Structure 1
Amino acid sequence: MSILTLKEDRPTPKSVYNWRVYVCAAVASFASCLIGYESAFFGTTLALPSFTQEFKFDTYDENDLAMLKQNLVSVYQAGAFFGSLAAFATSYFLGRRWSLMFFNIIFIIGCGIQLAATGDKGLGLIIGGRVLGGFGVGGCSNMTPIYISELSPPAVRGRLVGLYELGWQIGGLVGFWINYGVNTTMEPSTKQWLIPFGVQLIPAGLLFFGCLFIPESPRWLLSKGRRDKAIKILCWIRQLDRGDTYMMEELSYIDDDLERYRREVGAGFWKPFASLKERKVQWRFVLGGLLFVFQNGSGINAINYYSPTVFRSIGIQGTNTTFLTTGLFGVVKTVLTFVWLLVLIDHVGRRKLLMIGATGGSLCMWFIGAYVKISDPESNQNNEKLSSAGIVAVFFFYLWTAFYTPSWNGTPWVINSEMFNQNTRSLGQASAAANNWFWNFIVARFTEQMFSKLGYGVYFFFASLMVISVFFVFFLVPETKSIPLEVMDRLFRAKPTYRANGIILRELELEEEAFRTAAREREGGEKEKPSIEEVDDKAAKKV
């Protein structure tokens, strides 16, 4: 098998890998476009001369200004934290699709409030709008990966959930460049800084109209007993007839999974919380949270939210130069996200990417920290160009980006979207998204102070966490590539962890052979092959 060969859990008709599932995933990923843009544009907007003049930043002393900036950035993450938790309730009652619509509307209202802000009215409207926008973003960050993973064939699930990360990077790319554009083409004015705020409404509007046309998750419909509609949507997405063997197998997997959890845990809004009493479920929640601890511990969100501060610490000077360097950072991330999405995530696998990315990224951070320690560029600023060592440090910064982007940037979202069972998936994703936004909040709230107090030590801190993450992944995180969602419980029971994927795929091969042998025997005997209606009746009796 070559690196580009998809590894399937069972023989899969080519029609399953069709445009419909990609379009549904792409539409849902407009949510991540608005998340990425929101996360990227605000840090450089705070450095726009027109914004600093409008809200009189020059009247604050250095410490108060740093505190104000941290509060302006971090209230967004605080809102997103609570939004990601609220999405558990909406997804249970409204479903995946309408939850996306609900949180998107809240985000749009938050954007409208921010656009009403002026220097005379103060920063209150921006803070309130960012809290509300963050709440909407948090809910979308919970729903989008779940929705996509529940529609996806196992062999390309990583690629499709990866569209969520791609949308994030495209939104971030625009967010990184927007302020460079307005700063170089427009005179300082209220309009100059309002344009970046207004652009937020573009991906939000695309998501709003897209949600009117995409279908609900078939797995959610089956969990609510709406079987006929679920089968109709699943057949439409897979482009297969109801009686196709692949369809019958997929429905059988879902039915068995739902039956088992209704029997062992029970159906209902509060039942997933009861399942948290089980250690095996608790452990998966811990793993999901730790993945985002190490993702944020890489330093990525310190760069996203405070890129001017980060680049100034390396020795890059001037507003436009900082914006340009930040924009190039966004370009590198977006290009490498395409490579991760199209080639790496479903072929190399999740574990290898995380370990390789952490190892390479750590080495880069060690070098950058050593350069800042030895050269102390921030204390020796002048109008001259970067020194040779400074140029090398910038190169290692972009090399760090090349290691981080196709590994820790989107892979934790993919793993969290697929490793929970049907009964705990929404709650598990809520926990994972809340963890992401909590650690985002910590980084956003204290980055300025960390650079002020630790200096070069910040880079050593991030490098150390990346080293620890290598051992964490190797010993504790199983490979989820190509494993059906309904078989994840078996994957997490298999030992040793680093061989679990191969063990489960072999078991599935044997089960597939047995299934098809039994089907051939039925076809050759007196009893005819069971129809989809018979399968439905059997499933209904089980429930």
Structure 2
Amino acid sequence: MVKLTIQEDRPTPKEVYNWKVYTYACLACWASVMIGYDSAFIGTSLALQSFKDEFGLKTGTAEEKARFNDLSANIVSTYQGGCAAGALCSYFVGHYLGRKWGLFACALVFCVGAVLQVVASSSTGLGIMYAGRFIVGWGVGVASSLTPIYVAEISPAAIRGRLIGIYEAGWQIGAVVGFWINYGINLNIPYGNKQWHISFAVQLIPGGMLALSAIFLSESPRWLVYKGRNVQARKNLSNIRNLPEDHPYLMEEMEEIEVAHERDQLAGGAGLWGPIKTLFRSPEYLKRVGIAVSLFAMQNGTGINAINYYSPTVFKSIGVSGTNTGLLTTGIFGLIKFAGAIVWLLYLVDRFGRKPLLIVGAAGGAISMYYIGAYIAIAKPENNPPGTKLSSGGISAIAFFYIWTCFYGPTWNGTPWVFGAEVMPTFVRAATQSIIAASNWLFAFAIARATPYMFQDMKYGVYLFFASFMVVSIPIVYFIVPETAHIRLEEMSDLFALPPRKAHGIIMSRNRDNANDRPATAINSESFNEGDDEKGVESRNEYV
């Protein structure tokens, strides 16, 4: 049993924190397992000798290495381009199909792309591989936008960060499998096409599980209200909250959703294009989107996608040699990142908030990257003969790389996704989330295209570049990004109307005052624990 503290914005029946809301979040987050695996396995697959030989990717001469860099960048960036296209399309998918069936559709598309990659060979050429990577990317792009929206829309405010954090945990589970699978394959599967066929075919497992899981999801009540299906929305909210439809808490939440929707409709109009027009006419909404996009720019500026997609190259630059050794060190990186994501999910994101985590993560990560860059500049490990054992300096550089992972995993890894999913009104959330998710994939696309050439030309300068990016992010987060932890989705407009450094305290203080002033009959029910009315918004412990 894990003891988790919940900070409430108002007295809440214990039934609200039920197994259903966690189950629906976990089912939807098969999407992130799918995304995590696909983002991680490709780099180590490209390092398999069987894959190189099948497609004629030799790396003996400088010319062959340049060709391999080009093809590697093409394979990785084609996927990123598909992700960006899918993220932009997710608004239309979510508008017409909703969150539930939108996730089902993107899972089917993903599986089609995975099959195309498995059947690629030297006889078909890389064209079908590129097509499969783009199609898979499209499914990933849609899922990366719809999943955080869905989880945010079904979550109670007090555990919203934790539930959206399941999305990040799923991503890391998929990544761990993706990082380790080729190490196991290289050790246990005889040389041949079967090696890389297995790693590509495994994509079908999370894709198929997402399609199956989507069938059992309860559609977002907020999306149903947006579509005018209020009766069904009330039923779904009752199911998700595990409360009867006439319970005071549920009636109050439903009223908040309907009032917010009516206000948003008056401001933006109905239909497909009304929210988009409102978004681009509203400086306030564009400001929120801009902050969320900047967080993803800074996340990519940490160097994470360079490591995700080219991890063997990263470790080789530090002095690690040999395919198996490179795959092993990559696998350890994945495990540390996963552990950091779990700590972030269970203990950090809703306890300490978003801003402190981002600032601490950037500071610790920058120090680690500067150390690695300094080691490479001084020791020049690229000049070591093949098979050279790591020096004590090289071991310390590896240690600082893992320290960097310890800072990144519980901070920048998932926090931008939480922020982007929670700061917009429902009626524009699908449109803005598609823009935010697309920006992430476009930044990743740029990193994926540039990384092979950055390591070739900049050498230790790559690490100094990423470290400096993290340093720059600290004042941006401190002065511009408001804290959003424990703020209800319907209160985000109030939050962003206040000075960023003071907004969170003002809103939380107002909510405490309102909770104390609210008549006891408005919130009393036998489902409360004794003394909950007196505690107001004080923390209480929940066991899950």
Task: Tell me which residue corresponds to 2:489.
Answer: 485
Task: Tell me which residue corresponds to 1:211.
Answer: 214
Q: 1:247 aligned to 2:234?
A: no
Q: What is the distance in 2 between the residues matched to 1:246 and 1:505?
A: 19
Q: Closer, same or farther in 2 for the Cα pair 1:18/1:254, shift >3 Å?
A: same
2:337 pairs with one of 328, 333, 337: 333
Q: Closer, same or farther in 2 for the Cα pair 1:383/1:232, shift >3 Å?
A: same
Q: What is the distance in 2 between the residues matched to 1:514 and 1:247?
A: 19
Task: Tell me which residue corresponds to 1:167.
Answer: 170
Q: What is the distance in 1 between the residues matched to 2:93 and 2:54?
A: 39
1:6-405 counterparts in 2 under 5 A?
6-58=6-58, 61-275=64-278, 276-405=280-409
What secondary structure sits across from 1:214 in the alignment?
Answer: coil
Q: What is the distance in 1 between the residues matched to 2:67 and 2:183?
A: 26
2:473 pairs with one of 466, 469, 477: 469
Note the residue ranges of structure 1 that are not aligned, 5 or more in a row: 522-543
Q: What is the distance in 2 between the residues matched to 1:492 and 1:441?
A: 30
Q: What is the distance in 1 between the residues matched to 2:384 and 2:117?
A: 38
Q: Closer, same or farther in 2 for the Cα pair 1:268/1:306, shift >3 Å?
A: same
Q: 1:503 aligned to 2:506?
A: yes
State the Cα distance separating 1:519 from its structure 2 match: 4.5
State the Cα distance separating 1:4 from its structure 2 match: 5.2
State the Cα distance separating 1:385 from its structure 2 match: 1.8
Q: What is the distance in 1 between the residues matched to 2:64 and 2:195?
A: 25
Query: In 2, are the aligned partners of 1:37 and 1:200 still within 8 Å (CA)?
Result: yes
Query: In 2, are the aligned partners of 1:4 and 1:347 still within 8 Å (CA)?
Result: no
State the Cα distance separating 1:511 from its structure 2 match: 2.8
> Partner letter of residue 29 of structure 1?
C
> Partner letter of residue 139 of structure 2?
G
> Partner letter of residue 9 of structure 2?
D
> Partner letter of residue 402 of structure 1?
C
State the Cα distance separating 1:51 from its structure 2 match: 0.6
Q: Closer, same or farther in 2 for the Cα pair 1:382/1:64, shift >3 Å?
A: closer
Q: What is the distance in 2 between the residues matched to 1:39 and 1:135?
A: 13
Question: Which stretches of structure 1, 4 residues or more, deviate above 4 A after TM superposition?
Answer: 517-521
State the Cα distance separating 1:198 from its structure 2 match: 0.5
Q: What is the distance in 2 between the residues matched to 1:20 and 1:488?
A: 26
Deviations 1:414-468 (A, max 9, x none): 0001011112111111111001000010000110001111111110100011011
Q: What is the distance in 2 between the residues matched to 1:47 and 1:440?
A: 20
Query: In 1, are the aligned partners of 2:374 and 2:460 still within 8 Å (CA)?
Result: yes
Query: In 2, are the aligned partners of 1:315 and 1:381 still within 8 Å (CA)?
Result: no
State the Cα distance separating 1:510 from its structure 2 match: 2.5
Task: Tell me which residue corresponds to 2:531.
Answer: none
Q: Closer, same or farther in 2 for the Cα pair 1:121/1:478, shift >3 Å?
A: same
What secondary structure sits across from 1:365 in the alignment?
Answer: helix
**Mean Cα deviation higher: 264-273 or 221-230:** 264-273
**Mean Cα deviation higher: 244-253 or 78-87:** 244-253
Task: Tell me which residue corresponds to 2:427.
Answer: 423
Query: In 1, are the aligned partners of 2:248 and 2:523 still within 8 Å (CA)?
Result: no
> Partner letter of residue 16 of structure 1?
V
> Partner letter of residue 46 of structure 1?
L
State the Cα distance separating 1:518 from its structure 2 match: 8.3
State the Cα distance separating 1:120 from its structure 2 match: 1.6
Q: Closer, same or farther in 2 for the Cα pair 1:516/1:252, shift >3 Å?
A: farther
Task: Provide TM-score, normalisation by structure 1.
Answer: 0.93
Q: What is the distance in 1 between the residues matched to 2:78 and 2:34?
A: 17
Query: In 2, are the aligned partners of 1:235 and 1:242 still within 8 Å (CA)?
Result: yes
Task: Tell me which residue corresponds to 2:533.
Answer: none
Query: In 2, are the aligned partners of 1:107 and 1:137 still within 8 Å (CA)?
Result: yes
**Mean Cα deviation higher: 244-253 or 412-421:** 244-253
Aligned residues: 518
Deviations 1:103-140 (A, max 9, x none): 11110110111111112211111111000000010000
> Partner letter of residue 411 of structure 1?
T
What secondary structure sits across from 2:246 in the alignment?
Answer: coil
Q: What is the distance in 2 between the residues matched to 1:105 and 1:4?
A: 36
Q: What is the distance in 1 between the residues matched to 2:170 and 2:114?
A: 19
> Partner letter of residue 486 of structure 2?
S
What secondary structure sits across from 2:264 in the alignment?
Answer: helix
Q: What is the distance in 2 between the residues matched to 1:248 and 1:309?
A: 56
Q: What is the distance in 1 between the residues matched to 2:58 and 2:241?
A: 59
Q: What is the distance in 2 between the residues matched to 1:5 and 1:117?
A: 50
Q: What is the distance in 1 between the residues matched to 2:388 and 2:109?
A: 47
Identity of aligned residues (%): 48
Task: Tell me which residue corresponds to 2:438.
Answer: 434
Q: What is the distance in 2 between the residues matched to 1:278 and 1:193?
A: 49
Q: What is the distance in 2 between the residues matched to 1:388 and 1:65?
A: 31
State the Cα distance separating 1:509 from its structure 2 match: 2.3
Query: In 1, are the aligned partners of 2:176 and 2:335 still within 8 Å (CA)?
Result: yes
What secondary structure sits across from 2:411 in the alignment?
Answer: helix
Deviations 1:53-97 (A, max 9, x none): 111112862222211110011000000101001010111111111
Deviations 1:493-541 (A, max 9, x none): 112x1221110011122333444268499xxxxxxxxxxxxxxxxxxxx
Task: Provide the alpha-carbon RMSD of the alignment.
Answer: 1.4
Task: Tell me which residue corresponds to 1:444.
Answer: 448
What secondary structure sits across from 2:218 in the alignment?
Answer: coil
**Mean Cα deviation higher: 259-268 or 432-441:** 259-268
Query: In 1, are the aligned partners of 2:39 and 2:308 still within 8 Å (CA)?
Result: yes
Deviations 1:148-195 (A, max 9, x none): 000000000001000100000000000000100110111111111100
Task: Provide TM-score, normalisation by structure 2.
Answer: 0.93
Q: What is the distance in 2 between the residues matched to 1:341 and 1:520?
A: 29
Q: What is the distance in 2 between the residues matched to 1:299 and 1:483?
A: 30
**Mean Cα deviation higher: 242-251 or 429-438:** 242-251
Q: What is the distance in 1 between the residues matched to 2:141 and 2:333?
A: 24
Note the residue ranges of structure 2 that are not aligned, 5 or more in a row: 525-544
